[in-house]
Structure 1
């Protein structure tokens, strides 16, 4: 119980320390931290539209965080979530614009296409890691760039008719709310993807904590040699872990392509969502519930930051706050040391 409480306290304390450090930086830079954080709060909860946009922003963060966390829990570092998300985005949109089917067939098919594309992109570093012991970090980083330029080529020469972006997906493949439901959040871009994201978090928890395959995946992550000695197929589990991780990332891209934007366009640079997923997983302690909570925090900070210029505070300061939060999470040993000293002092 003590370890569980300590595990919960570290992210909370890290967030508080990050906000405090951010306030100090605002003061040192000549800005009013009270006005800045008030504007940040209003940008998240000030209007129902902002609440909807925060949920919309948190949706791909949940999938990106789950992708990173799943790999972490099984002893792998999937830094290729960005590329897996991009290929999932384009694959889902391609199905959404290439076919016109009944919604109960078209929407699941488009979502599964996104997951399959992400899984395929995760398979490559997993296979190379398993068969040739090529480090997954190196391969997955390179796969990000391959994904970016390959999808740009496909959009420009295969999928899109206009050249720079695809048509909007058919309504039968859209995750958007109906007008009646959209009106509840003042027509924000919030969509049904949030429910899929929550379901994905439950699935990850169930796989890792309640199934024998999840136990096997975690065991392989802890110790390859001991797992192999126990009769587990280490190579197969490495590949499976990266495939599942990639599928989560591809689903995040599908949510963007079918829900937030409803199209795919040529990208001059990475979206950044996949890389932010590393921070989300780290803050969420690589647990399903932690990832969901961290994703909402990051989504709120990203959306609230857009309102900070109204208080004459640069919204880039939120990126500093996020970086500080991650710094304090990474320095958790220091927080643990203070916590233990405090407990001794109380006794």
Structure 2
């Protein structure tokens, strides 16, 4: 059976999976006595109907781009990094240390320093599970998920102890200096009396996330390192035979993955909270897994999937505010999207492969017409 064309793999399979998830979600909304069409309109208006909604949607999407890219890069080497939550949390520690203890004269220089601090801290936290996988054979899934809890406990210790300002009751660091404050979308896109994105946390980090998508695409598909990562992921024995060292690939891939997860802290710690607080990641590391699955581990797909999940987050908040639909229903919708795009992927893929296989199959010759032709 012939496989589907590339466009169907990237676009059609996720789209049909999303439609199926939406249909099941509509049935759930009907079951609790609400109108699915009204709920959809509220979500669209709340998330996309104004610059205020767009500001929150893109803020959430920025977080999910970084964690989605982290999962996607690791997956190309067939490494399932589910430690994005802890790596992003430690990225926040890197941002806080850079912003609090280095006197920056301007936000642009602080952004460069915070980017380095976040990436180094996230990569360092991913390096330990990577080493255990490469040298000791410890499974990367087990070690990365354990390190999520270790990261949470470590930050809890720091924020209620060494990093907590004297006299403060909050489990958080001191506020960052004003010279480290990043420009928000309101600052960037408001002109005269026209104020756009008023009061939203979306900031310049969104463009850093887009740049990260481009950079990941260049590395994975346009460099020798990217070729080695993909070759290792397709067949480890063949990669070894070609001289590609497994220890090197595992380590460099996980360092890249952890660094990308750590970069999320630029958005939520430096750009929004302007200090490091407890539980600043808020589950974005796990949402990154769904984003990478739905985006087919391609940077452009990750960007689109991140915007979709940003829409679900912001639209869900509006839905819970204006209707009796609980906020937890959005978690159900997210779970359905993950279910259809991940666990039930073959339920959509196999029928489509059969359809495209029939369409591309050459027609059988007519035996009767062939027999009626005179022989030469």
What range is the shorter-chain TM-score in? over 0.9
- TM-superposed deviation, 1:178: 7.7
Q: In the alignment, is residue 127 of structure 1 matched against residue 131 of structure 2?
A: yes
1:234-313 counterparts in 2 under 5 A?
Answer: 234-267=246-279, 271-309=282-320, 310-313=322-325
Q: Distance in 1 between matches of 2:137 and 2:251?
A: 12
Cα–Cα, structure 1 residues 178 and 38, in superposed 2: closer, same or farther, change >3 Å? closer
Which residue of 94, 98, 109 corresponds with 1:95?
98
Instruction: State which structure, 1 or 2, has the greater radius of gyration over its C-alpha atoms.
Output: 2
Which residue of 122, 146, 156 corresponds with 1:142?
146
State which drifts further: 331-340 or 225-234: 331-340
Q: Which runs of 5+ in 1 are unaligned?
A: none
CA contact (8 A) 1:115 1:254 kept: no
Q: Distance in 1 between matches of 2:359 and 2:255?
A: 48
- TM-superposed deviation, 1:317: 1.9
Higher share of residues assigned helix = 1
CA contact (8 A) 1:74 1:221 kept: yes
Cα–Cα, structure 1 residues 74 and 344, in superposed 2: closer, same or farther, change >3 Å? closer
Give CA deviations for 1:88-108 in whole Å, capped at 9, x if unaligned.
Answer: 012202211222222243221
Secondary structure of 2:5's counterpart equals: helix
Secondary structure of 1:117's counterpart equals: helix
- TM-superposed deviation, 1:139: 0.9
Q: Distance in 2 between matches of 1:180 and 1:126?
A: 41
Cα–Cα, structure 1 residues 9 and 187, in superposed 2: closer, same or farther, change >3 Å? same
Give CA deviations for 1:194-247 in whole Å, capped at 9, x if unaligned.
Answer: 000000011111100000111011112222222122111210111010000000
Secondary structure of 1:176's counterpart equals: coil
State which drifts further: 149-158 or 47-56: 149-158
Secondary structure of 2:161's counterpart equals: helix
Q: Distance in 2 between matches of 1:230 and 1:313?
A: 56
Q: Distance in 1 between matches of 2:328 and 2:185?
A: 34
Which residue of 316, 319, 325 corresponds with 2:328?
316
1:95-244 counterparts in 2 under 5 A?
Answer: 95-103=98-106, 104-161=108-165, 162=168, 164-177=171-184, 180-181=187-188, 183-244=195-256
Q: Distance in 2 between matches of 1:312 and 1:117?
A: 42
Q: Distance in 2 between matches of 1:70 and 1:346?
A: 34
Q: TM-score, normalised by structure 2?
A: 0.87
Cα–Cα, structure 1 residues 340 and 216, in superposed 2: closer, same or farther, change >3 Å? closer
- TM-superposed deviation, 1:175: 2.2
Q: Distance in 1 between matches of 2:127 and 2:354?
A: 45
Cα–Cα, structure 1 residues 61 and 225, in superposed 2: closer, same or farther, change >3 Å? same
Which residue of 67, 71, 78 corresponds with 2:70?
67
CA contact (8 A) 1:220 1:237 kept: yes
CA contact (8 A) 2:4 2:353 kept: no
Cα–Cα, structure 1 residues 140 and 229, in superposed 2: closer, same or farther, change >3 Å? same
CA contact (8 A) 1:176 1:189 kept: no
CA contact (8 A) 1:60 1:255 kept: yes
Q: TM-score, normalised by structure 1?
A: 0.94
Q: Distance in 1 between matches of 2:160 and 2:254?
A: 29
Q: Distance in 2 between matches of 1:219 and 1:107?
A: 35
Aligned length: 346
Cα–Cα, structure 1 residues 262 and 339, in superposed 2: closer, same or farther, change >3 Å? same
Partner of 2:8: 6
Give CA deviations for 1:1-51 in whole Å, capped at 9, x if unaligned.
Answer: 942122110111111111111101111222211111111111112321111
What is the CA RMSD across the aligned residues, in angstroms? 1.9
Q: Which runs of 5+ in 2 are unaligned?
A: 361-376
- TM-superposed deviation, 1:339: 2.2
Secondary structure of 2:201's counterpart equals: coil
Secondary structure of 2:160's counterpart equals: helix
Secondary structure of 1:257's counterpart equals: helix
